[in-house]
Structure 1
Amino acid sequence: MLLFSTLVGAVLMFPLNMVLLGALGLLLRQRRPRAIWLSWTALALLLVFSTRAGALLLVAPLEMRTPPLASIPPAAQAIVVLSGARLSNAPEYGHQDKPGFITLARLQYAARLHRDGGLPILVTGGKPDGSAESEAAVMARSLHDDFGVVTRWQEQASDTTADNARLTAPILRNAGVQQVLLVTDAMHMPRAVRSFHKQGIDVIPAPTIFFSDERLTLNDWLPGGEGLRRSNYALHEWLGSLWYALRPIANKSR
């Protein structure tokens, strides 16, 4: 199932989705000359969403759903940090795996919240890429080595956001934790909150990484890899939210 979803996701994501749309326009052109507009549309969309300014069309609506955390509520009992991939085999760290850029930003914010409120931290992430070490273990090591923070709990079997919530819930309940600060980036937060609420966990969103609040410069209007990366990430979240919304319907129909 994970392999299938990865393949389907690749087809729906940039740039392959636009390449396929453009190819369809070229194939249909022989029978319907006007179909060439599919190719031109695909090229135009690829150019737009390859800019950081264009990516905001997908990014901003997601990030606007969750404002930054103003203060730590007194009722919060723990901090839950979701994984966001890793950098494997880092030679400058003795070939250990290290948190990816997004994961590192989440850990940095969680460490700050921990210092401000003294709340214990749970990290969650399994081995979706087949690595020997879980992402949770990588995160816990980074919290200790890079931020001087000890992790209280590790959930090391999840492969998806839904798994993060499902497998974290019993750990929290066994520890008597009812309300948590949920740390992930702002784009990912709507889907994460929905997943945790489905498991009956009372979460207070603590988002980080707000791309839509960055100051725009001339470079933001030029196509580049970073614009395409942000567009892809946002599109992944839109598709993921749609899949999570449709999955209960699919399950009922079986």
Structure 2
Amino acid sequence: MNDLIHAVAALLLPPTGAFPLLLLAWWLRHRRRWLSGALFATGLIAVWIGSTELGALWLQDRLLGPQQAVQVERLKDVPPKETMIVVLGGGARKLMPEYGGAQLKALSIERLRYGIWLSRQTGIPLMFTGGTPRDSSDERMTEAALAERTAAQEFGFTLAAKEDRATDTRENAEFTAELLRGQPIRRVVLVTHDVHMRRSLRAFREALPPEVEVVPAPLGLALPGFEWRDLLPSQEGISRARYLGYEWLGYVGGH
């Protein structure tokens, strides 16, 4: 049943989510010409929005609101020992043939790299949260363990802590709050991608005590302005639109 739900959700995400509108327009072409034309035009616009970088960014701004990069200097107004950078895992693969073993997915590596950069700029310790990938039967192969290994081997960096039980965003927040309980933490700097940030902020603000400030540190932000190529379908546009659709469905669903 779970696989069926994921399959249906995958079809409803951009740009394929517009296909039902196009099919309905085709079915109504002889019965309701004006309605058929309106549905067809709406479907084409939806396909364009779900296939282009500009369309995906426009939709993201309206669904999730604008976001800005964290101000590094602002993070220094609280002592490092009272702050924790928390990097959210973005997935792992149990086997990458080119490496001959398990590795973090690109989203996780991007977040880890940015978290390490922030830690080195501010002196704030860093923890990574991520448990066993859902498609893995090896409970030892957690995202957090892979992040610890990657940080040490590829960045020469040591994590301050790791949370290795969470399998979704809400568990990231709940289990992180458990680990931080009893520590003199006044601020959590939350590192994840911009599209994922709104859902993550809600989860962490609900899980952490009200006196702990949660500061968003999004990555993947788009540059201001655009060029004509952003109007064309692209892999980047499709990826952002699908990620946005997934995150928005998760947010409205309360996950």
Pairwise CA distance, 1:3:
4.0
User: Secondary structure of 2:86's match?
Assistant: strand
User: Partners in 1 of 2:21 and 2:93 — Cα distance?
Assistant: 32
Choose from 221, 225, 228 the match for 1:218.
Answer: 228
Which residue number corresponds to residue 250 of structure 1? Answer: none
User: Secondary structure of 1:23's match?
Assistant: helix
Listed one character per residue, the Cα deviations across residues 109-135 of structure 1 (whole Å, up to 9, x for unaligned) are: 111122123322211112343223222
Q: Does 46-55 or 58-67 show the bigger shift?
A: 58-67
User: Partners in 2 of 1:63 and 1:101 — Cα distance?
Assistant: 25
CA RMSD of aligned residues (A): 2.5
1:200 and 2:211 aligned: no
Evaluate the alpha carbon distance shift between residue 192 and residue 13 of structure 1 in structure 2; reply closer, same or farther with a 3 A threshold. Answer: same
Choose from 98, 122, 125 the match for 1:120.
Answer: 125
User: Secondary structure of 1:187's match?
Assistant: helix
User: Partners in 1 of 2:128 and 2:14 — Cα distance?
Assistant: 30
List gaps (5 residues or longer) in structure 1: 248-254
User: Secondary structure of 2:71's match?
Assistant: coil
Q: How many residues align?
A: 243
Instruction: Report if aligned partners of 2:72, 2:118 keep a CA contact under 8 Å in 1.
Output: no
Q: Percent identity?
A: 33
Which residue number corresponds to residue 89 of structure 1? Answer: 95
User: Partners in 1 of 2:28 and 2:104 — Cα distance?
Assistant: 45
User: Partners in 2 of 1:153 and 1:184 — Cα distance?
Assistant: 17
Listed one character per residue, the Cα deviations across residues 106-162 of structure 1 (whole Å, up to 9, x for unaligned) are: 111111122123322211112343223222222222111121111232222222211
Which residue number corresponds to residue 50 of structure 1? Answer: 51
User: Secondary structure of 1:207's match?
Assistant: strand
Evaluate the alpha carbon distance shift between residue 193 and residue 90 of structure 1 in structure 2; reply closer, same or farther with a 3 A threshold. Answer: same
Which residue number corresponds to residue 15 of structure 1? Answer: 15
User: TM-score w.r.t. structure 2 length?
Assistant: 0.83
Instruction: Report if aligned partners of 2:49, 2:59 keep a CA contact under 8 Å in 1.
Output: no
Evaluate the alpha carbon distance shift between residue 7 and residue 143 of structure 1 in structure 2; reply closer, same or farther with a 3 A threshold. Answer: same
User: Secondary structure of 1:154's match?
Assistant: strand
User: Partners in 2 of 1:179 and 1:221 — Cα distance?
Assistant: 40
Evaluate the alpha carbon distance shift between residue 106 and residue 214 of structure 1 in structure 2; reply closer, same or farther with a 3 A threshold. Answer: farther
User: TM-score w.r.t. structure 1 length?
Assistant: 0.84
Choose from 176, 187, 199 the match for 1:168.
Answer: 176
- Matched letter for residue 241 of structure 2: S
1:147 and 2:155 aligned: yes
User: Partners in 2 of 1:214 and 1:129 — Cα distance?
Assistant: 37
